[in-house]
Structure 1
């Protein structure tokens, strides 16, 4: 994706990242923003949670760092910013381009399947206050991540919900958004129980 192109579905996101990896030895978050357009909140709300779901999510402290970045993006969505802003120290973080392209290539078929089964449902949930309600839910999900780090890969549950919310906003699927928020509510209850159980045993 040589020019800034607003993605319309998951295939666009995966294909765009794959192209970036093929064209560059290293790819930064800033490169992705340039490729997708700084007005594209949804791709970051999909990609960053997927990074946490990967084996990197098992690194102590890494899920909380990602949750902090995602919360910053959600806060900007909440206040109505028209483009994504991230500190230079975050934008300039780089990954190996070949590894990125290889990883995205493995997702091609899954992305195509998902795109064929979602979209254009309950579109009224993507209007008015609903995107900001979704941003509130994302912020709460990010808050639930730190206590879940005490359990192996448990923080992936709220991150899956965040990725689904980002995907719903991208393809304008209100039914998926509703399901993602229900999943998010369940993960927050799980996080609260985990926190209370930990404090009770201590």
Structure 2
């Protein structure tokens, strides 16, 4: 299900997404989907997540839109689909190419660092069976995002967990997945606190 990656692969994905805006003013969800092609599930999780973690995530409505995209991919991942489908009303949504480039460049140092330290380990955390567990968790995390938009940048917590899951799957580094599980617990605590506070 998941292909191994070579050093620099994560940053290369960022560069490919940024390059989509070289000849246009906006980048649509469908453009990103075409760019990612039929890679492993990982990029389809971590790309929306890192976009939300970047400054773009501070734009009202963007976290919920990205959460919907993640949930859609995670559900298809849960049922073992290899070719992802995105409905038209989502695929045509677009963001400013300049804002996308600026936002992704802000987090480039983190991606570059993860590229360097990632290696294959904790294989159980990226096994076929466990990927379905991660898919369920991603749906739950995505569902928690809309109410968290009421709290400034609170939605970064669930998206951080989703990003770690996606990065772990992409690089076949189960340690990142385990870290994502820890962040997931923290995100659910934040959701509970935010909704009852």
TM-score bracket relative to the smaller structure: 0.7 to 0.9
Q: Deviations over 1:92-135 (max 9, x none)?
A: 22333344345444544432221001121112321131111111
Change (3 A) 1:161 1:15: same
For the pair shown, the structure with the greater C-alpha radius of gyration is: 1
Structure 2 gaps, min length 5: none
For residues 94-113 of structure 1, what are the structure 2 equivalents within 5 Å? 94-113=94-113
1:69-105 CA distance string (max 9 Å, x none): 2111111111111121111221122333344345444
After TM superposition, the runs of 4+ consecutive aligned structure 1 residues lying more than 6 A away are none
1:83-122 alignment, distance < 5 Å: 83-122=83-122
Q: 1:47 to 1:192 in 2, by over 3 A?
A: same
Q: Distance in 2 between matches of 1:71 and 1:108?
A: 25
Question: Alignment length, in residue pairs?
Answer: 192
Work out whether residues 144 and 158 of structure 1, in 8 Å CA contact, stay in contact via their aligned partners in 2: yes
Gaps of 5+ in 1: 1-5, 198-202
Rounded Cα–Cα distance in structure 1 between residues aligned with 2:165 and 2:106: 22
* SS of equivalent residue, structure 2 residue 82: coil
Equivalent residues in 2 for 1:66-85 (5 A)? 66-85=66-85
Contact 2:50/2:104 (<8 A) preserved? no
